[in-house]
Amino acid sequence: MSSAARTRDGNTAERILDVAEQLVQERGFNAFSYADIAAELGITKAALHYHFASKAELGQALIDRYAARFAGALTDIDAAGGDAPARLHAYADLYLNVLRDQRMCLCGMLAAEYRTLPEAVRSTLLEFFDDNEGWLAEVLESGRSTGQLAFTGPARDVARVVVASLEGAMLIARPYGDLGRFQVAATQLLAGLVAKASSPS
């Protein structure tokens, strides 16, 4: 295959993933078909199966790409060098930006359909959440060690609360079409983790 043909194939695969990601974020994984993607892109279903032989394969590729982008965003947050509270706020903003585009977190949408997902998609989905909780746990523990954050119990448990709360805040804000609902929930959540200044003696 020539380099030009490989480029065309690569571009088609990316376009397929772009459309599929939007459909999942708007409708859910079980609410779209290959016919929907084919119609949107003006290609045949056979062309879709050439790139992604099954919907399970497509779903796994979607999560892999989404997780890679999310991981890149976390790396950027780390590289910015902010303190723990600033890094937590930057993390919440990742969710806000998705909601601002009138979409839901891809993996949050998939989690709602977890029992009906192909097994390969399930395991990849869990990896995404595990990786996010791991990153958050490190930020939380770092903030507690410097006295910037205050919470009880293991950092990993608190990380799970953060992820669950942000995903839930997105879900509730969506039907209202109200970014403010999410922002208030996220602000209150993170404010509860910031260590209070000690009272003057």
Which domains does the chain carry? 56-191 (1.10.357.10)
The pLDDT tens digits of the residues spanning 126-185 come to 999 999 999 999 999 999 999 999 999 999 999 999 999 999 999 999 999 899 999 999
With bands split at pLDDT 50, 70 and 90, how would you rate the model's confidence at 7?
A: very low
The model carries a pTM of 0.86
Task: Note the pLDDT of residue 197.
Answer: 59
With bands split at pLDDT 50, 70 and 90, how would you rate the model's confidence at 5?
A: very low
With bands split at pLDDT 50, 70 and 90, how would you rate the model's confidence at 32?
A: very high
Task: Note the pLDDT of residue 23.
Answer: 94
What percentage of the chain reaches a pLDDT higher than 70? 93
Please state, rounded to an integer, the average pLDDT across all residues of the chain: 91
The pLDDT tens digits of the residues spanning 46-71 come to 999 999 999 999 999 999 999 999 99
CB 92 within 8 A of CB 191: no
**DSSP per-residue letters across 142-198:** HHHHTTSB---S-HHHHHHHHHHHHHHHHHHHHHHT-HHHHHHHHHHHHHTTBPPPP
Task: Note the pLDDT of residue 10.
Answer: 64
Return the DSSP state at 146. Answer: T
Of 27, 70, 68, give the one whose Cα is nearest residue 163.
Answer: 70
Task: Note the pLDDT of residue 22.
Answer: 93
